């Protein structure tokens, strides 16, 4: 058996008629950028997400820095996040011109550790960007308390966690804005690049709408801006897919339970931790190898046995090869848990179209490796 890491084409085939219809509708409309399909999809996103505003932009990275820029965060300012995330979280801070401050992650969830935030706050700190890593919300209750106390903005990076919830909070309730990505490997993915920003703040909505379109709100009137728009064909694809997101998340959760049940007796591996009461949508099912020096051995064993396991992410951002040219751009505090996460993580195949048999085969291979390692 061959277990793939992604199921993009399976997903397309499952709802092909719905997607093809939407694409056809856009093609026939003759309006492909800032057209009626984008407007319609923005309305659907507002309704689904429960936010006053939803703005389609070019990609998830842009969504983050456009939000920072709309809030006036830039050169001279500091923004707190954690280093065991996808590179783009930090990149967006750099694009906005601010300095990134890395604090450690929670050793269980791998999301930012709220207890580490306060000691990193200086008089230059303007914002916190918690990442809802692997499909689980960061502890927004604790984070928003700190933000309120120190008058900081909070932008949630939910690129990996559309449809996730906390125990007593929804995304967007305890922050200034929520940035998401629609690239295909995300839980809601289009057929190219795409992203969106959700907010209840009319000033962010108005500013980002202008910034994404060359600083223009009215024809022939411009202030300086950028070109970062979600095009109408992608909006059409996403409009078709949005109707399925809850059922797809439920399926991911079901498959995650299957993994967790099948792997419950392993000796050399720690299974994903779900915060009590949270809806973790398992963008990724990430296990940790207890002895991190054996991580690559598990990865190789799985790959050699046709299970396409990967790592998310095996190099923390401040250890990336390109990092020296960011000199002065980042402040790195003690980040032991984040570094250990990078050294020990293995992501098992996880997507809604994965079959039970494929999950069982992957489980069996992990168990074989576990047994061979005592």
Residue with Cβ nearer ligand PLP (3 or 183): 183
Q: Under rule CB under 6 A, how many of the chain's residues touch ligand PLP?
A: 15
- Tell me, letter by letter, the H, E, C secondary structure of 175-243: CCEEEEECCCCCCCCCCCCCEEEEECCHHHHHHHHHHCECCCCECCECCCCCECCCCHHHHHHHHHHHC
Q: Least distance from C-beta 255 to ligand PLP, angstroms? A: 20
CA distances for 319 relative to 87, 325, 329, angstroms? 11, 12, 13
Residue with Cβ nearer ligand PLP (179 or 348): 179
| Residues with Cβ within 8 Å of residue 59, at least 6 apart in sequence | 181, 182, 183, 193, 194, 195, 228
Q: Scan for tokens 């399909």, then name that residue.
A: 37
Residue with Cβ nearer ligand PLP (130 or 349): 130
Among 42, 104, 156, 157, interactor with ligand PLP by CB under 6 A: 157
Residue with Cβ nearer ligand PLP (157 or 358): 157
Residues composing the chain: 374
Is residue 188 close enough to count as binding ligand PLP by CB under 6 A? no
Is residue 65 close enough to count as binding ligand PLP by CB under 6 A? no
Is residue 213 close enough to count as binding ligand PLP by CB under 6 A? no
| Residues with Cβ within 8 Å of residue 74, at least 6 apart in sequence | 68, 96, 97, 98
Among 88, 101, 335, 340, interactor with ligand PLP by CB under 6 A: 88
Give me the sign of the Cα torsion angle 159, 161, 167, 171. Answer: positive
Distance CA 12, CA 1 (A): 22
Among 159, 289, 335, 354, interactor with ligand PLP by CB under 6 A: 159
Is residue 181 close enough to count as binding ligand PLP by CB under 6 A? yes
Among 11, 51, 61, 199, interactor with ligand PLP by CB under 6 A: 61
Where on the chain is the footprint of ligand PLP (CB under 6 A)? 59-61, 85-86, 88-89, 131, 157, 159-160, 181, 183, 193, 195
């Amino acid at each position: 058996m061959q277990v793939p890491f992604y199921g993009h084409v399976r997903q397309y085939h499952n709802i092909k008629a719905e997607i093809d219809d939407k694409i056809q509708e856009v093609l026939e409309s003759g309006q492909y950028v800032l057209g009626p399909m984008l407007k319609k999809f923005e309305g659907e996103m507002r309704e689904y997400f429960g936010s006053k505003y939803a703005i389609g932009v070019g990609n998830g990275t842009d969504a983050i820095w456009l939000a920072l820029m709309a809030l006036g965060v830039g050169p001279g300012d500091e923004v707190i996040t954690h280093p065991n995330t996808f590179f783009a979280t930090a990149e967006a801070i750099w694009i906005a011109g601010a300095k990134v401050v890395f604090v450690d992650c929670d050793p269980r969830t791998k999301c930012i550790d709220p207890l580490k935030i306060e000691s990193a706050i200086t008089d230059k700190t303007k914002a916190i960007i918690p990442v809802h890593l692997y499909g689980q919300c960061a502890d927004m209750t604790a984070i928003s308390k700190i933000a309120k106390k120190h008058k900081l903005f909070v932008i949630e990076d939910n690129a990996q966690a559309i449809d996730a919830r906390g125990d007593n909070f929804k995304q967007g309730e305890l922050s200034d804005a929520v940035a998401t990505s629609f690239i295909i490997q995300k839980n809601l993915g289009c057929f190219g690049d795409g992203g969106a920003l959700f907010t209840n703040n009319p000033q962010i909505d108005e500013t980002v709408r202008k910034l994404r379109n060359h600083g223009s709100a009215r024809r022939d009137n411009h202030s300086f801006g950028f070109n970062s728009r979600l095009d109408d064909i992608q909006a059409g694809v996403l409009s078709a897919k949005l109707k399925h997101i809850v059922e797809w998340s439920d399926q991911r959760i079901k498959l995650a339970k299957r993994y967790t049940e099948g792997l419950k007796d392993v000796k050399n591996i720690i299974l994903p931790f779900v915060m009590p009461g949270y809806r973790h949508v398992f963008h990724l099912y990430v296990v940790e190898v207890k002895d991190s020096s054996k991580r690559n051995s598990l990865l190789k064993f799985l790959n050699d046995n046709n299970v396409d396991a990967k790592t998310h992410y095996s190099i923390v951002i401040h250890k990336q090869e390109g990092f020296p040219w960011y000199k002065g751009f980042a402040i790195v505090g003690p980040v032991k848990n984040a570094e250990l996460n990078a050294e020990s993580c293995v992501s098992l195949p996880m997507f809604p179209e994965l079959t039970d048999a494929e999950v069982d085969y992957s489980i069996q291979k992990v168990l074989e490796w576990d047994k061979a390692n005592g």
